[in-house]
Amino acid sequence: QPERTLVLIKPDGVARRLTGEVLRRVEAKGYSIVALEQRTVGADLLREHYAEHEGKPFFAPLVEFMSSGPVVAAVVEGHRSIEGFRALAGATDPTTAAPGTIRGDLGRDWGTAVVQNIVHGSDSPESAAREIGLWFPAL
């Protein structure tokens, strides 16, 4: 089975009407969207999703931000899609993310406690399996 990754369009991306632009880039790259849903999620799911960041100073603001409005969750499929989507997304910090990437082209620093960087992509096959199970338990 081709590799799958979990992509999230975060509340800043949805609020800025970037859903179509992000999905366009995923499809233009050649990946398939095998599941897609917009929803507003609670703190419990987000604490699990971001378990690796528990204890860090930005953990609470991050959970707060991610539950502040709708997100778009997608399962994206294709060989090396985990690495490939992270390349499309660009570096975590949108100020310095390379132009040509989602964060580099569309993101900036808004002076908020949490870096708002439009998208999330799983960082390893283990994270992808765990995150897809969390967001799309029926898959």
Q: Which of 9, 62, 73, 74 binds ligand CMP (CB under 6 A)?
A: 62
**Least distance CB 1 / ligand CMP (angstroms):** 25
Q: Which of 92, 95, 96, 124 binds ligand CMP (CB under 6 A)?
A: 92
List the x/- string, 32-51, binding to ligand CMP by CB under 6 A.
--------------------
What residues are paired with 118 via a beta bridge?
A: none
Q: Determine the 3-state secondary structure of 133 from DSSP.
A: helix
Tokens at 138, concatenated = 């029926």
The answer to whether residue 74 forms part of the interface with ligand CMP (CB under 6 A) is no
Tokens at 135, concatenated = 């967001």
Phi-psi region of 55 (alpha: psi -120 to 50; beta: other; left: phi over 0): left
Q: Residues 118, 18: contact at Cβ < 8 Å?
A: yes
- Residue 120 catalytic? yes
Which spans of this chain sit near ligand CMP (rule: CB under 6 A)?
Answer: 53, 58, 62, 92, 114-115, 117, 120
